[in-house]
Amino acid sequence: LVLKGSRLNSRFTHSLPVSLSAGQMTDLIYTEKELVQSLREYIKAEESKLAAVKSWANKLDDLTRVSTSDPEGYLGHPVNAYKLMKRLNTEWTELESLVLQNPSDGFISNMSTHRQYFPDEEDATGAAKALMRLQDTYQLDSEAFARGKLPGVHSDALLSVDDCYDMGKTAYNEADYYHAVLWMQQALKQLDAGEEAVVSKADILDYLSYSVYQMGDLPRAIELTRRLVAIDSSHQRAGGNLRYFEKLLFKQLNEMNQAYEPPSEEPIQLGTYSRPKDHLPERETYEALCRGEGLKMNEARRRRLFCRYQDGQMNPRLLLKPIKEEDEWDSPHIVRYMNILSDEEIGKIKELAKPRLARATVRDPKTGVLTTANYRVSKSAWLEAEDDPVIARVNQRIEDITGLTVDTAELLQVANYGVGGQYEPHYDFSRKDEPDAFKRLGTGNRVATFLNYMSDVEAGGATVFPDFGAAIWPRKGTAVFWYNLFKSGEGDYRTRHAACPVLVGSKWVSNKWIHERGQEFRRPCGLTEVD
């Protein structure tokens, strides 16, 4: 306590403690009053903190009630998946800091126990990139995501100003200025519409103006920077950026002998700027097929497609119950088999796979070693026939239908594609410049692919073949089959294919890659290289 010296008195009476004067005691009364006031402020702060924690608990109660009632359905919506990642990566940490203001051993102990399972920064960034991947593939503007307006889906899974800002910042930190512009513009739009936010307009304009400059739009970068200066004239970068942008624009106009034209008053939206090219040459074709555009199915080709009953060339297991087979494409020949897996079998396969799911890998063409890759985003597990009679039964069924031995095939691979999950265009077989891709297996190249669809997908998730313009949509319980190699053993380069990003829903598949060894008499060599 600090006693105010001006109120101290050196005269005492016998009714008071001999150590303090009446004045000092008076000061203590006022001190106590100040302490009570301080106590009330502390109580108010504690109540405010408790109210904030209660609000969090109520909100999360509602959220978890919805999410746990149908986890796959809930996570099937890309915005829900992104916000779950963001919540666990940042917002729970903020709550932890709030609670840590006073001892709270139970909560901290729980946090410490579960923290090992929380997504890290890389996971949160990956979730943001997944939304951007969907945005590109399905040509959706940022507002469609922010307002939950996905194709065929109306949802209350919304993105706030701060969510959009975080999306833009993620892109910015990856030097992806194209997406940074789209998301910062959406954040600004929602803020201008009166939505409350933690982030300031100055911060949004700071990122947006520089990203627009990086996209080569100097007039609009200048206009946005002027808005930033008007809001915060002391901003440490804005003034310097504005002078630099104006000088650069003046120089460009002089060199091109052009007059200054003010920036367009149209708001920035999808299509305002061109998306930068990337490593994938068939990107536009692939993404168009994912949207159901550019399909090369026509009446002449459709007339060459048939359906039939397949008995596996009089296989005794199929004689009494042949498989329904439909042509999906004529050349290369791709077929779909109906009712391949029952709901019970699918349930058992998923049950076996879930504990083993890990980031899906691809085989390094140089070393033959399995490794992760950015162009394949899914979780996968490998199941052996010994794991359960269902796996052995499915393997036998694939052999009966195709007539090919699965003794030399790879294990049954189960894959789950969640929000934004994809596998960009690739070949299943190894090319001549990859002689060691399957050397370790000792079973030759991948002669054929048998792909089981174990779920329906609400939107997205097609298997597409960019070379000849085909798209095959997932249908639960069905399977598709094609040969990757000609009978000569030469690769059929037309079979380059991709798994489109899942837009809404969750995609489960299982596939069997069948190898050359053991097929010598089951699929004899043809007379020409391309038989």
Whether residue 438 is found in the same domain as residue 485: yes
Q: Are residues 147 and 232 in the same domain?
A: yes
Looking at this protein, which amino acid is placed at residue 307?
A: C
Question: Same domain, yes or no, for 250 and 374?
Answer: no
User: What does the pLDDT average to over 405-430?
Assistant: 92
Q: Are residues 69 and 33 in the same domain?
A: yes
Domain contains 210? yes
CATH number at residue 467: 2.60.120.620
d(CA 459, CA 372): 26
Per-residue pLDDT tens over the stretch 226-260 = 999 999 999 989 999 999 999 999 998 888 888 88
**Do 481 and 431 share a structural domain?**
yes
**Within this chain, do residues 380 and 238 fall inside the same structural domain, yes or no?**
no
Residue 7 has a pLDDT of 30
Among 367-371, 440-444, 512-516, the least confident range:
367-371
Render pLDDT for 7-40 as a digit per residue (tens, 0 to 9). 333 333 333 333 333 343 455 566 566 655 666 6
SS3 470: strand
Contact in structure between 203 and 165 (CB atoms under 8 Å): yes
Looking at the 3D structure of the chain, how many domains does it have? 3
- Here the tokens at position 141 are 């503007």
SS3 readout for 428-458: CCCCCCCCCCCCCCCCCCEEEEEEEECCCCC
Rg (CA), the chain: 32
User: What is the average pLDDT across 357-361?
Assistant: 67
Identify whether 307 is part of a domain.
Answer: yes
Residues 330 and 450 in one domain: yes
Query: Would you state the pLDDT for residue 374?
Result: 58
| DSSP label of 263 | P
281 Cβ partners below 8 Å, 6+ apart? none
Q: Is residue 124 part of a domain?
A: no
For the cut 90, the answer to whether the pLDDT of residue 5 exceeds it is: no
User: Binning pLDDT at 50, 70 and 90, where does residue 410 land?
Assistant: very high
Answer yes or no: are the C-beta atoms of 180 and 171 closer than 8 Å: yes
Within-domain flag for 489: yes
> Which residues are 377's β-sheet partners?
422
Q: Are residues 312 and 376 in the same domain?
A: yes
Q: What backbone torsions phi and psi does residue 521 show, to the nearest 5 degrees?
A: -100, -10
Summarize pLDDT for 300-352 with one digit per residue, the tens: 999 999 999 999 999 999 999 999 999 999 999 999 999 999 999 999 999 99
User: Is position 150 within any domain?
Assistant: yes
Average confidence score pLDDT of the chain: 86
* Angle at the Cα of 413 from the Cα atoms of 411 and 416, rounded to 5 degrees: 170
For residue 419, which of 383, 451, 460, 386 has the smallest C-alpha distance?
A: 460
**Residue 132 belongs to a domain:** no
Predicted structure pTM score = 0.80
* One domain for residues 104 and 146: no
- Whether residue 264 is contained in a domain is answered as no
| Predicted local distance difference test score (pLDDT) of residue 22 | 38
Strand partners, 381: 414
Q: CA 101, CA 447: separation in Å to the nearest integer? A: 63
1 pLDDT tier (thresholds 50, 70, 90): very low
Q: Which residue segment(s) compose the domain that 471 sits in? A: 282-515
Split at pLDDT 50, 70, 90, the class of 149 is: confident
Higher-scoring residue by pLDDT: 254, 398: 398
Evaluated on CA atoms 214, 219, 220, 224, the torsion sign reads: positive
* Higher-scoring residue by pLDDT: 376, 44: 44
Pick from 373, 361, 334: nearest CA to 471 = 334
Q: How far is CA 287 from CA 66, 114, 148, 498, 516, in A?
A: 32, 39, 21, 10, 32
Examine the domain organization and report whether 372 and 492 are in the same domain. yes
The answer to whether the CB of 165 falls within 8 A of the CB of 180 is no
**Cα gap 357→508, rounded to integer Å:** 12
Long-range contacts of 256-262 (CB under 8 A, 24+ apart): 260/219, 261/219, 262/219, 262/223
Given a contact cutoff of 8 angstroms between Cβ atoms, the answer to whether 215 and 176 are in contact is no
Q: What is the pLDDT of residue 109?
A: 66
Extract the tokens encoding 486. 């000609």
Give the list of residues 6+ apart from residue 317 with CB closer than 8 angstroms, or none: 396, 400
Residues 66 and 145 grouped into a single domain: no
Using 50, 70 and 90 to split pLDDT, how confident is the model at 494? very high
- 163-177 burial, b if ≥16 CB within 10 A, otherwise e? bbbbbbbbbbeeebb
pLDDT score, position 4: 31
Please report whether residue 59 resides in a domain.
Answer: yes
Tell me how far apart the alpha carbons of residues 331 and 449 are, in angstroms, rounded to a whole number: 16
pLDDT of 365 over the 70 cut: no
Could you give phi then psi for residue 64, rounded to 5 degrees?
Answer: -70, -30
Q: What is the pLDDT of residues 52-95, one digit of tens each?
A: 888 888 888 888 888 898 888 888 888 988 888 888 888 888 88
Please give the pLDDT value at position 203.
97
414 & 505 share domain = yes
| pLDDT tens profile 167-185 | 999 999 999 999 999 999 9
C-alpha closest to that of 363 among 430, 417, 421: 430
84 is written with which tokens? 């779950």
- The whole-angstrom separation of Cα 171 and Cα 87 is 18
pLDDT by residue (tens digit) across 319-333?
999 999 999 999 999
